[in-house]
Amino acid sequence: MKNLLCGVLLMLLMACQNQSQEQAVTEVVDTEKEQAEMTEQTMTKNLPPKAEKRAHVFKEHGMDRIDNYHWLRDDTRSDADVLAYLNAENDYLEKTMAEHNAFTDRLYHEIINRIVQNDESVPYKLGEYWYYRKYNEGEEYPVYVRKEGSLEADEEVLIDVNELAKGHSYYASNSQSISHDHNIYAFSEDTVSRRQYDIRFKNLTTGEFLPDVIKNTTGSIAWAKDNKTVYYTRKHPTTLLPYQVFRHELGTPVENDVLVYEEKDNTFYTACYTSRSKDYIMIYTGATTLTEIFYLDANDPTGEFQSVLPREPKHEYSVEDLNGEWIIKTNWNALNSRVMKAPIGESNDKSKWQEIIPHDDETLIYDVETFKDWLVVEQRKDGIRHIKAMNWETGESKLIQSDEATYTMRVAYNPEQNQNTMRYTYDSLTQLGSDWEIDLNTDEKKLLKQDKINGEYKPEDYQSQRLEITARDGAKVPVSMVYKKGLGELNQRPILIYAYGSYGSSIDPSFSLSRLSLLDRGFIYAIPHIRGSQAKGRQWYEDGKMFNKINTFNDYIDTTKALLAEDYGDANRVYAWGGSAGGLLMGAVANMAGDLYHGMIADVPFVDVITTMLDEGIPLTTGEFDEWGNPKNKDSYEYMLSYSPYDQVKAQDYPNLLITTGLHDSQVQYWEPAKWAAKLRELKTDDNLLLLRTNMETGHGGASGRFAYYKETAQDYMFLFKLAGIKE
């Protein structure tokens, strides 16, 4: 009995063991199945890329600075790992936004359908010819043409950029110039988007392109009066800094060109051009805070250049020639600049200078232009860019008037000096751009062209405003704003705040064809004229650069808070946008006060401030020490490090972010935004969107072509609409 019981127990135990083994096998199979399903889901699920961390240690001023994503820098733009990461980010963006593709496409066509396809610029008269540019229906690029004698004459095509651009994914021409006898047409071309332009020439008598091709230039030239000698500025092959001026004679080998000037100071930029009278070849060389200008008689192309005035610390000046005198815009003892004159040949003695227009604490002088009986001054007062004219003989001054409180007025191209009619442009946040001509003697105005828009547009349906907010230190920051009327309470609408705030560059209130797609969907669009610009004069710029740079960021943040406090915008739908140095603004603000913003667009952002400004071998470093500081100096290093967006990324919540760049960007190298995106992915503590878009064919300015450019605009707007909950 005992043996039987033991046998039964043994059989039961064996059965249990078999059952356990079968269950264990089943569980293993189930686990492997689950893992396989999870792997498949991971492969098909749209997960953000994760860049590999490869520690790189920078040692500066006795401190170690670790950069885990320094490996993303590839000057050849051919490294397989780097390209794989950029493409993975592009794929992630495309999949994230795929559900909105139809809307994005409609948005793109909505924008370009506003463009008047057959369009012409206002013709200008030069000698016996009328020159202008036109666009033909469906074509991306302009055609440059002229007519001889009158506008009723037959049209002659100079160059058709659409033909030149064939076979290129990118094509840009930034300069066109005609010889004094109107027989040779010079033009520039860039097919890479690195802003390294080739200069080419066309014989307009034969229609043939000359074999002379000058590479790696700024694009512009100056013609001597022999109609065969040109001067051009060459860029440094590594830094792309324009630093050498050469003389070229048509029909001779380019390698035999004569170096006539080389700037030895690598903080300076160099350019050459023809004076307004066309009597002189001019060389400009300047840094952030000082300039020097040289001149040569255009009838003596092999002569020696002379200095208008040798360079002096913190002295910036520019000149126009008129009747044997230099008309000089100078900041000598004049923060906002004043206008003086001096005899040509004696200007290097400042005791010979005579004041024409004195300094004004309230008015910043941008530029001057000389006419037969009038001096025209482009200036800014109370943040508004406008034009003043002064009569040479009587000293009478007058402003070109506007009916609007906020607008932008600029002197247009006026190639002939010996006249008293002036062309200028005008637009505002609600008024389309227009070209005007005014008789300075009689004040009679003539509208030459009013920009048009396809479809219905009524300026009175939109409200533009100008207000002033008080920053935390008491500074009064001007703000320009526009929105569409009748779309609900302002404090329930999304608000987009766009700014720049560097280099003294001011974002003027001007019309935007594409912006209507935002305004018509309820957006408020605001431009804070923050410090670092010159919206309120030169001091406004000085108060937002170098060791005052933090004011730029504070002004932007304080403007956002003030607008919300005044019931402009929904606090839950506040969006920020800036590009290049304005992208630095975005990065700093995201670190400092990211919780204020639901979303942010940083276009081609300059965010890796310390590393870039320590590297004198890349473009836009040495020439900007007076803008940001030189981090080789410990005090500058510590201050710049305190706000550098890339270095200050930390474990915190960030807004939804769209970051853009171009692989061939020569101004802000692609690796800055790429590294920033990678570091943000590593450290941010939120689940908000972070998208990086790299255009693999373009550079700093985006796509070329008048339609293609708006493809990325539509994508940018779609990002905002997605966040704001706008479905159509």
Residue by residue, DSSP assigns 106-162 as HHHHHHHTTS-SSEEPPPEEETTEEEEEEE-TT-SS-EEEEEESSTTSPEEEEEEHH
Q: Which of 337, 580, 636, 704 is catalytic?
A: 580
φ/ψ (deg, to 5) at 305: -75, 145
* Residue 128 β-bridge partners: none
Tokens read off for 656: 């939804």
SS (H, E, C) 580-630: CHHHHHHHHHHHHHHHHCCEEEEECCCCCHHHHHHCCCCCCCHHHHHHHCC
Longest dimension (CA), the chain: 138
Active site residue 665: yes
Residue by residue, DSSP assigns 23-34 as HHHHHHHHHHHH
| Contact between 190 and 239 (Cβ < 8 Å) | no
d(CA 568, CA 182): 55
d(CA 499, CA 697): 26
| Contact between 467 and 481 (Cβ < 8 Å) | yes
Q: Which of 177, 428, 700, 716 is catalytic?
A: 700
| Contact between 187 and 159 (Cβ < 8 Å) | yes
Strand 176-178 with 434-439, pairing: unpaired
Active site residue 109: no
Among 674, 591, 726, 718, smallest CA distance to 100 is for 718
d(CA 109, CA 454): 12
SS (H, E, C) 410-455: EECCCCCCCCCEEEEEEECCCCCCEEEEEECCCCCEEEEEECCCCC
DSSP-derived 3-state class of residue 265: coil
φ/ψ (deg, to 5) at 614: -85, -15
DSSP-derived letter for residue 172 is: B
Cα Rg of the chain, angstroms: 30
| Contact between 379 and 392 (Cβ < 8 Å) | no
| Cα-based distances in Å from 351 to 325, 327, 354 | 15, 15, 8
Q: Which of 555, 603, 665, 716 is catalytic?
A: 665
d(CA 522, CA 489): 10
DSSP-derived 3-state class of residue 197: strand
CB atoms closer than 10 angstroms to residue 449: 15
DSSP-derived letter for residue 708 is: T
φ/ψ (deg, to 5) at 109: -70, -30
DSSP-derived 3-state class of residue 472: coil
- The residue to which tokens 């974002």 are assigned: 507
DSSP-derived 3-state class of residue 3: helix
| Contact between 184 and 251 (Cβ < 8 Å) | no
| Cα-based distances in Å from 240 to 77, 194, 197, 234, 362 | 17, 9, 11, 9, 37
Active site residue 580: yes
DSSP-derived letter for residue 350 is: G
Tokens read off for 555: 């002004």
Among 89, 19, 99, smallest CA distance to 47 is for 89
The residue type of 607 is: V
Active-site residue list: 580, 665, 700
